[in-house]
């Protein structure tokens, strides 16, 4: 990145899951305090905070000043609080804003908090809120939900890559096995391919166990110009919106964002040691292999056959369990991806550690407009320290 170097010096979270008696404010505060503690600083050492949330107004009744209400209780006052709402990419967007603040020299140390409380005693309200992350004048008139859009895209990808339902089951099982050792994760029990196959069909070919669930949770990072443990540096922070598909060869939004990130970082996909990608439905991970140039078109099946993206493979993907297994409290998702990468690059990921991990990518998407996610965010992190040797 241009300007000052940006390092991730602290990570913290509230576990993802169902927490009926925990408020959105409490979820966020728990993650924030944990990140400050991990960074070895106090709230008065912060120059600013950026807070991400997508549905607090619709589901929890708090509009406009969500971040201020979250952080007031832990003693933050005076420092600016920036509130970010950008669908499922709200968390990554908040990180992008914080990176700009630190890289520009405007701020020295910034706290990023992403939080969402989606269990509100009425699943229909939550699903209705999620549906608003598309152009409501367009999508509302044709009766398509996100699961249906994902199903159409997955079926197209299956035909182009010559994949069968077994590949979709495999990637789901893979990510559930990764989540077993992740203390953040909502689902920490392994699944079998048969269990996935037997789960209810939601939108052919997507089954229930392939879908991310409603979640409560929060995740936080401290970004600073000063290196922290493991010297985890942000090499690239890129945010883009859905492109106009005026030409047949226009690249999809995630590819455009990834290409800019690789250029900014001065690295290519072959130099990555692991990645976290946005699998709101687990088969979407397979689409992202080629969208993020982790493989060429036509080679997704080969990655599956080689099990290249599982722990122990040559490029592990979604070691956290991904959205499908770790959980998807929308505002927290993009931040949680970077927590996983930071732990991996520090060598602190425990049983799911990728040996020798030095370079990692996170891809977070949000909403839907035109033919692409409305928002595509890509971050590339690098460890310049002595960690990541486990």
What are residue 316's phi and psi, to 5 degrees?
-60, 135
Nearest to 217 by CA among 63, 362, 114: 114
E strand intervals along 128-273: 201-203, 206-207, 216-224, 232-241
Pair of tokens at residue 255: 């590819």
Question: Which of the residues 14, 96, 176, 328 is marked catalytic?
Answer: 328
Determine whether 328 is an active site residue.
yes
For 4, other C-beta atoms within 10 Å of its C-beta total: 16
Per-residue burial over 371-382, b = 16 or more CB atoms within 10 Å of its CB, e = otherwise: ebbbbbbbbbbb
Helix (H, G, I), strand (E, B) or coil at 127: helix
Note every long-range contact of 57-64, with CB atoms under 8 Å and residues 24 or more positions apart, other chains counting.
58/125, 58/128, 58/129, 58/132, 59/117, 59/118, 59/120, 59/125, 59/126, 59/129, 60/23, 60/24, 60/117, 60/120, 62/24
Residue 318 zone, left/alpha/beta (φ > 0; ψ -120 to 50; rest): left
Question: Which of the residues 51, 88, 99, 295 is marked catalytic?
Answer: 88
What number of H helices and E strands is found in the chain? Answer: 13, 11
Q: In the block, which residue shows the tokens 């049983």? A: 351
Helix (H, G, I), strand (E, B) or coil at 77: coil
- Catalytically active residues, by annotation: 88, 328
């Amino acid at each position: 990145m241009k300007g000052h170097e940006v390092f991730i010096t602290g990570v913290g979270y509230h576990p993802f899951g169902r927490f009926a008696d925990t408020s959105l404010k409490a979820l966020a505060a728990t993650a924030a305090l944990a990140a400050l503690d991990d960074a070895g600083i106090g709230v008065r050492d912060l120059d600013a905070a950026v807070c991400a949330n997508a549905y607090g107004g619709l589901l929890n009744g708090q509009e406009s000043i969500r971040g201020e209400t979250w952080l007031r209780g832990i003693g933050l006052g005076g420092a600016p609080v920036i509130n970010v709402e950008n669908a499922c990419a709200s968390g990554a967007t908040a990180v992008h804003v914080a990176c700009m603040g630190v890289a520009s020299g405007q701020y020295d140390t910034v706290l990023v908090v992403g939080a969402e409380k989606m269990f509100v005693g009425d699943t229909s309200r939550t699903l209705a809120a999620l549906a608003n992350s598309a152009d409501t004048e367009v999508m509302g008139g044709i009766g398509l939900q996100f699961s249906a859009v994902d199903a159409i895209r997955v079926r197209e990808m299956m035909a182009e890559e010559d994949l069968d339902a077994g590949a979709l089951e495999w990637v789901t099982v893979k990510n559930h096995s990764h989540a077993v050792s992740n203390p953040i994760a909502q689902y920490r029990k392994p699944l079998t391919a048969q269990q996935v196959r037997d789960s209810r069909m939601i939108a052919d070919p997507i089954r229930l166990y392939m879908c991310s669930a409603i979640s409560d949770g929060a995740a936080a990072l401290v970004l600073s110009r000063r290196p922290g443990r493991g010297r985890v540096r942000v090499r690239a922070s890129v945010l883009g919106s859905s492109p106009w598909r005026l030409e047949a060869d226009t690249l999809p939004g995630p590819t455009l964002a990834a290409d800019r990130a690789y250029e900014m970082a001065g690295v290519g996909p072959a130099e990555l040691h692991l990645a976290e990608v946005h699998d709101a439905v687990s088969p979407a991970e397979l689409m992202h292999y080629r969208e993020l140039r982790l493989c060429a078109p036509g080679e997704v099946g080969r990655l599956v056959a080689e099990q290249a993206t599982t722990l122990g493979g040559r490029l592990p993907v979604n070691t956290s369990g991904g959205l499908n297994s770790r959980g998807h409290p929308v505002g927290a998702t993009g931040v949680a991806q970077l927590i996983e990468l930071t732990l991996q690059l520090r060598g602190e990921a425990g049983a799911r550690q990728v040996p020798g991990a030095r370079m990692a990518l996170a891809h977070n998407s949000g909403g839907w407009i035109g033919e692409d996610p409305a928002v595509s965010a890509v971050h590339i992190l690098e460890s310049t320290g002595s960690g990541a040797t486990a």
